[in-house]
Structure 1
């Protein structure tokens, strides 16, 4: 590692530590902030092998790099799920799955130290652990990249779109390239290490810029606020009634595959302005949430009517614009805390009696 490589790595390390410290007062706010802080700490641990060289086997810094470096892909995936995915509250199985990137190498190294055997003596086992672990890491980072990109168009918060399209996506690509180089190509040229450290310093600088110059709610506030459709008339934008009429009267939400670009074209409103109206005045953070509000409302009304008591739930879901029963069930339960079938039984029970 060159002097400049260590210099850039130290810059990245210092900024990561600063970012995690500045977020400390907010760590109780929600899980996204806690996971983001953990990601920063994992990155710091990974950088110890660059800054504190040489690192002796079994030393304190060796353990830091082992834990932080291997946990990083899983934590990165959890951050992407928490901030950008559909899982506002992560499930236990997601944490368990993400922990595999750390658990596999940790158990291997610990067993090697305790029982004094070299896993390389078992060629098949060694190859399986090495390449299996690497594949798992690549899958996590690739899936995190897919989450950021796939949710990019539907995100109505402009600042988060910048973060998704820039920092998060580039960071995922960077981690993928580093994993491929470290595990497969193992290029040792001084220029490669300098490039890795320089790009990381640049990325962390960009992350801190977005993190501390934009509203923290742009990235971390994942709890949905109740929609506001009835703003005072004097405070409404003139296009807002057209948007509401398109949903309530024309029922455009029924169109399969409707995108915000398609809705903007149908209403003859610039897409950028439409995003601001739905987010700023109607208080939706995601375009799918906006559409699902009307879809769920339509199905809810029909489930409460005896005339539709024999109509399959799937039929009602597809007619309202949902693409699958699973996505409908999930959205419906998030709204009513009941499955559609349970809701129908509950509201129709008095009528049956």
Structure 2
């Protein structure tokens, strides 16, 4: 007899994660998809637990297990594709797989209660066999696609994105290996039945927890840090210090050593460091922060430290957007490489300085290059 206790763990963990993501105030598409995925896995656990007591009616519960591998594919696309990760075609494919799963569960239920839906039972059997083969084929393909989504364009990813891809892909591979391949080497058929709850639960939880971890890492990477230069708000310490020194230093000449030091830090591309603050410049140059602020306002003619740094970051981003080797990079990758910690902030700052958002800038310059090529070939 099977030990169903692992299924209780599966239900408990997935229910908790489903509620956690479903109750978020700032829900995005990924949260809805993940909640549905966790709900489907909950129903898998409930079906396994209830099967011995309710018998054939467990197949009716199985109708709600139709969002497993197909939903994991949609989640994978949403996690690792920035622009339009899901289209009508993707929804249609996921819906088709869900329909096939529901058909199989319904067929098992009807057969179990001995209902003759079709006069020719052989026709029903052949139909069931065909549907089952299609379901296995599509599900296997979807599993491969989910794994591939994480590693797609791996060379073009940033270090943070590579870490996320490694976590997702490795856990996904281990889960599939643990559920389908490893048991063939370790157990005979009778033993497999005994360990099946543990195998299914461990594999499912490995994928679920990997997804949740990647979601957490992405949120942390994309979140705007209040003290960051990206926020376009002057650091509070910088403001207070500058105000205190204004009357004493506005009319004084900026020290040449400070100007030289700031220029040296800019040449070293220190502005590419994320969450950069004026205190970082002051610490490196071993001078008070108000002197850095005064040099930026009076010599470099920038309103504040944030604008000063963001101008260099945007210039660097423009060069990346125009490079052929970075043509396949996402806008998010460009933002992170340019020192921004938030895609929304990057788009806002870029548009305020250049006049168009990064995507439009890339398209305009690509169109200009194509036009010049056509003129040269005419």
TM-score in terms of structure 1 length: 0.59
Distance 1:79 1:219 in 2: 18
Distance 1:75 1:174 in 2: 16
Is the CA contact 2:73–2:145 (under 8 Å) kept in the aligned structure 1?
A: yes
The answer as to 2:81 corresponding to 1:77 is: no
Shift of 1:38: 0.4
TM-score in terms of structure 2 length: 0.56
The structure, 1 or 2, with the larger RCO (C-alpha pairs under 8 Å, 6+ apart) is 1
Quickly say closer, same or farther: Cα 1:256–1:174, change in 2 above 3 A.
same
The residue that corresponds to 2:41 in the other structure is: 43
Distance 1:256 1:44 in 2: 42
Equivalent in 122, 129, 140 of residue 127 of structure 1: 129
The residue that corresponds to 2:275 in the other structure is: none
The residue that corresponds to 1:26 in the other structure is: 24
Q: Deviations over 1:21-69 (max 9, x none)?
A: 122233773322111110110111112233334164541x43222431x
Is the CA contact 1:49–1:55 (under 8 Å) kept in the aligned structure 2?
A: no
Quickly say closer, same or farther: Cα 1:152–1:34, change in 2 above 3 A.
farther
Shift of 1:136: 0.2
5 Å-filtered alignment, 1:1-353, equals: 2-3=2-3, 6-26=4-24, 29-54=27-52, 56-59=54-57, 61-68=58-65, 70-85=66-81, 87-88=83-84, 90-110=86-106, 113=110, 115-116=116-117, 124-156=126-158, 158=160, 161-167=162-168, 169-171=170-172, 174-175=175-176, 178=179, 187-189=189-191, 190-201=194-205, 203-205=207-209, 207-208=211-212, 214=217, 216=219, 234-235=305-306, 241=312, 244-245=315-316, 247-248=318-319, 253-255=323-325, 275=337, 277-279=339-341, 283=346, 295-301=362-368, 311=375
Distance 1:206 1:279 in 2: 22
Quickly say closer, same or farther: Cα 1:41–1:169, change in 2 above 3 A.
farther
Distance 2:133 2:208 in 1: 28
Quickly say closer, same or farther: Cα 1:46–1:148, change in 2 above 3 A.
same
Q: Please give the secondary structure, in 1, of the residue aligned with 2:52.
A: coil
| Aligned residues: CA RMSD | 5.0
Is the CA contact 1:33–1:220 (under 8 Å) kept in the aligned structure 2?
A: no
Is the CA contact 1:152–1:161 (under 8 Å) kept in the aligned structure 2?
A: yes
Is the CA contact 1:8–1:201 (under 8 Å) kept in the aligned structure 2?
A: no
The residue that corresponds to 1:335 in the other structure is: none
Gaps of 5+ in 1: 265-272, 285-289, 316-353
Q: Please give the secondary structure, in 2, of the residue aligned with 1:71.
A: coil
Shift of 1:253: 1.0
Shift of 1:77: 1.3
Quickly say closer, same or farther: Cα 1:36–1:10, change in 2 above 3 A.
same
Is the CA contact 1:156–1:279 (under 8 Å) kept in the aligned structure 2?
A: no
Distance 2:223 2:116 in 1: 44
Instruction: Give the number of the structure whose alpha-carbon radius of gyration is greater.
Output: 2
